[in-house]
Amino acid sequence: MLDAQTLHDSLDATFEELLERHLSASKEWFPHEHVPYGRGRDPISGEEWSEADADLAGATISDEVRSSLLVNLLTEDKLPYYFRTVEGLFGADRAWGEWVRRWTAEEGRHAMAIYGYLMVTRAIDPHHLERCRMAQVSKGETPAPESLQHGFVYLALQELATRIAHRSTGRMIGDPAGYDVMMRVAGDENLHQLFYRDLAAAAIEVDPDGMMVAIEDQVRNFAMPGTGIPGFLEHAKKIASAGIYDLTVHHEQILVPVVMRTWDVENVEGLTEVGEEAREKLMKRMAQSERVANRLARRREESLTPA
Ligand SMILES: [Fe+2]
Ligand SMILES: [Fe+2]
């Protein structure tokens, strides 16, 4: 595995190119233009939230979708810790630092847009949301990749996971304004995942062994960035049961397109023994993940098919 400084230096040019590409692909947008303020009303101090008070343009959302909205927003709220981690890995200098700051600025508007939407529509309980936010941000639990290579892999997988979670949630809200907010945020996440995915692909060329070890580690231990949210496991179960994000989605929409297709781990060249060993483990894990994904998909189909 290459040391961080060598890897950094050999990826400088790629990093600049990817930053340029990102800046020209991303379009300016304004969180406030996506919030339907007309549906808001003044708060009444101490008032208890009720589902019936939500104004979702005639739509109603399930408990599962509420869980997903809560988790998606709280995940965005942990931005200070992500910033700390990514700046710690990438440094504050040159294009690396510029990217970290730009990415942070973009991430910052995600919570603004989703929070604005949830508050004016009263789609979820604002007291509960705020208590959960205080609890999780005070705790500050975030994944801490152990090397730059691990960081590249984690960020690529996580940005894609977040994009999928926002998009699927948006589709299930049933309110065009909610759909629009979530799609707008997912659009940013998409550009982020392209950046990290291609950065990781370039790193594989430079450090095949180190990256293969990191990919194997991260695929084995991947956790959604929502860990640390109060009741996360319960929420994750509901989110999975609604089909928003589960092991089938994880396998088919993240691992296959990124790990197998773009990074093409099966055909990476230049591995020494340590890299080959990691690849072998990774391929076994992929096969296992495929079996689980298929089993789950079958079960879902059966449960949806009327007897
Ligand atoms: Fe985000
Ligand atoms: Fe992102």
The four Cα atoms 239, 244, 245, 248 give a dihedral, to 10 degrees, of 120
Judged by DSSP in three states, 113 sits in helix
Instruction: Report how far apart the first and last C-alpha atoms of the chain are (Å, whole number).
Output: 54
Q: What's the 36 CA to ligand 1 centre distance in angstroms?
A: 20
- Of the bound ligands, which one is closest to the alpha carbon of residue 159? 2
pLDDT at residue 257, as a whole number: 98
- Please name which ligand lies nearest the alpha carbon of 76: 1
Nearest CA to 248 out of 296, 192, 187 is that of: 296
Residues with CB under 5 A from ligand 1 (ion): 76, 107, 110
What separation in Å is there between the alpha carbon of 144 and the centre of ligand 1? 17
Ligand nearest, relative to CA of residue 194: 2
CB 30 within 8 A of CB 185: no
| Nearest-angstrom CA–CA distance, 1 and 241 | 39
Residues 51 and 240: their CA atoms lie apart, in Å, by 22
Render the burial of 223-252: b for 16+ CB within 10 Å, e for the rest: ebbbebbbebeebbebbbebbbbbebbbbe
Report pLDDT for 307.
60
Among all chains, which residue has been given the structure tokens 């990817």? 18
- Considering every ligand atom, which ligand is closest to the CA of 185? 1
The residue assigned the tokens 């396998």 is 251
Give the Å distance between the CA of 79 and the centre of ligand 2: 10
> Under a CB-based contact definition with an 8 Å cutoff, are residues 178 and 117 in contact?
yes
* Alpha-helix residue ranges (DSSP H) falling in the chain: 4-25, 63-77, 79-90, 94-121, 126-139, 148-173, 176-206, 208-221, 232-241, 247-249, 273-304
How many angstroms is it from 80 CA to the middle of ligand 2?
13
Cα of 187 from ligand 1 centre, angstroms: 10
Q: How many CA atoms lie within 13 A of 12 on its CB side?
A: 6
Separation between Cα atoms, residue 217 and residue 85, nearest integer Å: 18
Compute, in angstroms, the gap from residue 145 CA to the centroid of ligand 2. Answer: 16
Per-residue pLDDT of the chain (307 residues; tens, 9 = 90+): 899 999 999 999 999 999 999 999 999 999 999 999 999 999 888 899 999 999 999 999 999 999 999 999 999 999 999 999 999 999 999 999 999 999 999 999 999 999 999 999 999 999 999 999 999 999 988 888 999 999 999 999 999 999 999 999 999 999 999 999 999 999 999 999 999 999 999 999 999 999 999 999 999 998 777 778 889 999 999 999 999 999 999 999 999 999 999 999 999 999 999 999 999 999 999 999 999 999 998 988 888 776 6
Cα 104 to middle of ligand 1, angstroms: 9
- Position 227 scores a pLDDT of 78
| Token pair 């809560």: residue | 70
Distance 47 CA to ligand 2 centre (A): 34
For residues 252 and 244, the answer to whether their CB atoms sit within 8 Å is: no
